[in-house]
Structure 1
Amino acid sequence: MPQLNPSPWFFIMLTSWLTFSFVIQPKLLTFVTTNPPSNKTPTAPNTTPWTWPWT
């Protein structure tokens, strides 16, 4: 069964993984902007309790 022979497929997988990791990924990460941290303090939401009609 040729599927069990990892010789050609391992090299292809390793080459594609290294290409993605070292060439494509840094180019893609230059386009992605991260959200800057905000200095706002978190506020608790103003909620009102639910009034159940049967209580």
Structure 2
Amino acid sequence: MMIPKSWTGKKTQTNPEFKEKHKQRKIKKALINYLKTQDWELEVYNYNNKKET
């Protein structure tokens, strides 16, 4: 029979400043990805329009 162990883990809380920096990096990465996708879609749209004429 296995004896359940008590939860062991981090004893100190994470610095809130680190959490905020992580959120900022995540938002920045999402914005950059969105802008790249938007730019790519615009290039494809322009290419297709030029190709037809």
TM range (shorter): 0.3 to 0.5
Answer with 1 or 2: which has the greater Rg. 1
TM-score (structure 2 length as normaliser)? 0.40
Q: Which has the higher helix share?
A: 2
